[in-house]
Amino acid sequence: MLRTVITAAVGLTLATGCAPDSEAPVKVSVLSRSSNGQYVPTQVELTTIEDIVGLKGTVGDLQGGARIVIDPNDPALQNATEDTVADVLLKKSGHDVKASYITQKDEKTGEDVLWPADFHSWNMVTSYYNLERANEYFRTVANVKVASFDPTPTLYYFPEFIQTQVSKEPAEDNAIFYPVLQAFLVLPFDQIQRAPLPLNSAVMAHEYSHLVFNRLAYATQNLPVALSLWAAESPSPGANVLKAFDEGLADYHAYGASCRSPSGCDPRFLAPSFDGGPFTGVTDARDLSNGNRCMSALLYTRVYQQDLGTFSSDGAEYQVGTLLASALYQAGRSTGQEAQLQRDIVSAYYDTNPSTPGIYQYTQQVLGDQSLFTLAVPARAIISHITDLELRKAVCNEFMDHLQIPRADLIGDNLCPASAAGGTTCPSIFQ
């Protein structure tokens, strides 16, 4: 409560002081990828901003100086409830950021344009802009209702983020959506120098996709019940499947959002951040346009026989997720219906109609027995929400082929047509 009061007071001071006019729309320069692939200062209009200095608006609220510690041995964490867990993890809640600008006149229009005055101001205002772009993708292409974005997520900018199980040192070089805090974390960078993650609009769209998945497929639960219940068991096939879908769909939507940028659809959207550095291999590993990926017998077995910790220890959720994302990519491209597919997928996250349950509804049906939450289950949710029959059949064939989901699990009313027979790219792992 105290925190809310202090934050409000600071915001008021800035608005009445020497701060630039904060009312949206605000014309400002951000770093954005141009049509030739370079990150260059680009004049844009922020349409959702309420405080251009504190970088707060309806799509996000930037906070600096936070300290977040995840220590499984912290007794306070063991006693925490869903209502108190955020306060336990948030050792310092941080403060409003303060971006600096120089006002310039646009040569053509004579209008004022704000020009960020230092590196962090560039980085922060671009982060906000990228949240706004991702939000617009999900509202317009994916048809997500405005109410689903409430409450406004916080974006912790350069927080100290410590996971004691991983390291005593604060983590770097990552952008994270953290559902417990309903917040994004943009960590300081060390190795990633080329295009810092918050500047990469597709990376921010990937994280934003996790927010949307949480708000719909997990019904905005800070500690998603299905995931945490299932992750506590061993093996944890249901938790593994949920994680894999969450990651794969995040990559697919990041790709979808890239199609609305000046540089166009980019199935290798990690390249500007990762190529040429220590993470170079990641771009190829998650390249959506690689149509030759196949579920292996080993990976398939791991989904069903490992606990989430073991499954995730080498990023297997990303391996399965990439199979899913590239299958969707192929189906959308081959039918020329990518935007429709992106919209259909999000409509499959939450649906109370008993004949076409959403992913959330399916998790609730089998909460007591996660062995029933196979790869086929969220696949069925997606398939039943694809209205165009040609597109639906294409997705069915890709799922049977690249993800090796058994055909018998996907055929049925509101599901795959009997004519869906799979594909010919991948050898069957069920011999």
State the residues that interact with Zn ion by CB under 5 A: 247, 250
3 half-sphere exposure, CB direction, 13 A CA radius? 9
Judged by beta carbon, residue 211 or residue 348, the one nearer Zn ion is 211
Q: How far is the CB of 177 from Zn ion (least distance, A)?
A: 7
Nearer to Zn ion, 250 or 257 (CB): 250
At 119 the three-state DSSP class reads helix
Smallest gap from residue 159 Cβ to Zn ion (A): 18
The residue of the chain with the least Cβ separation from Zn ion equals: 250
How wide is the angle at C-alpha 210 spanned by C-alphas 373 and 297, nearest 5°? 40
Distance CA 153, CA 215 (A): 11
d(CA 212, CA 346): 8
Minimal distance, residue 247 CB to Zn ion, in Å: 5
What is the DSSP secondary structure assignment for residue 112, as one 8-state letter? E
| Cα–Cα distance measured from residue 241 to residue 149, given in angstroms and rounded to the nearest whole number | 25
Distance CA 282, CA 197 (A): 14
Min separation Cβ 325 and Zn ion, Å: 11
CB of 250 to Zn ion, least distance (A): 5
Cβ 206 to Zn ion shortest distance, Å: 6
Q: Least distance from C-beta 248 to Zn ion, angstroms?
A: 9
Whole-angstrom distance, CA of residue 393 vs CA of residue 391: 5
| Residue closer to Zn ion (CB basis): 250 or 316 | 250
CB of 354 to Zn ion, least distance (A): 31
Decide whether 157 or 213 has the Cβ nearer to Zn ion.
213
* Closer CB to Zn ion, 324 or 420, in the complex: 324
In terms of CB distance, is 160 or 247 closer to Zn ion? 247
3-class DSSP assignment, residue 45: strand
Nearer to Zn ion by Cβ, of 131 and 426: the residue is: 131
- The smaller minimum CB distance to Zn ion, of residues 62 and 250, is found at 250
Instruction: Give 50 or 247: the residue with its C-beta nearer to Zn ion.
Output: 247
- Is 90 or 270 the residue whose CB approaches Zn ion more closely? 270
Q: Give exposure, 52-79, as e/b (b: 16+ Cβ within 10 Å).
A: bbbbbbbbbbbbbebbbbbeeeeeeeee
- No. of H helices and E strands in the chain? 16, 14
Q: How does strand 183-186 pair with strand 154-157?
A: parallel
Cβ atoms < 10 Å from Cβ of 130: 30
- The CB-of-210 to Zn ion minimum distance in angstroms stands at 6
User: In 153-203, at which residue ranges do the beta strands (DSSP E only) sit?
Assistant: 154-157, 160-163, 175-178, 183-186
> With respect to Zn ion, which residue has the nearer C-beta, 253 or 343?
253
> Could you tell me the smallest distance in angstroms from the CB atom of residue 11 to Zn ion?
31
Q: Strand pairing partners for 183?
A: 154, 178
Burial class (CB in 10 A: 0-12, 13-18, 19+), 281: exposed
Minimum distance from CB of 84 to Zn ion (Å)?
26
The count of C-alpha atoms lying within 13 angstroms of the C-alpha of 210, restricted to the half-sphere facing its C-beta, is 23
182: number of Cβ within 10 Å: 17
Which residues are CB-neighbours of 214 under 8 A, at least 6 positions away?
Answer: 177, 179, 182, 220, 221, 224
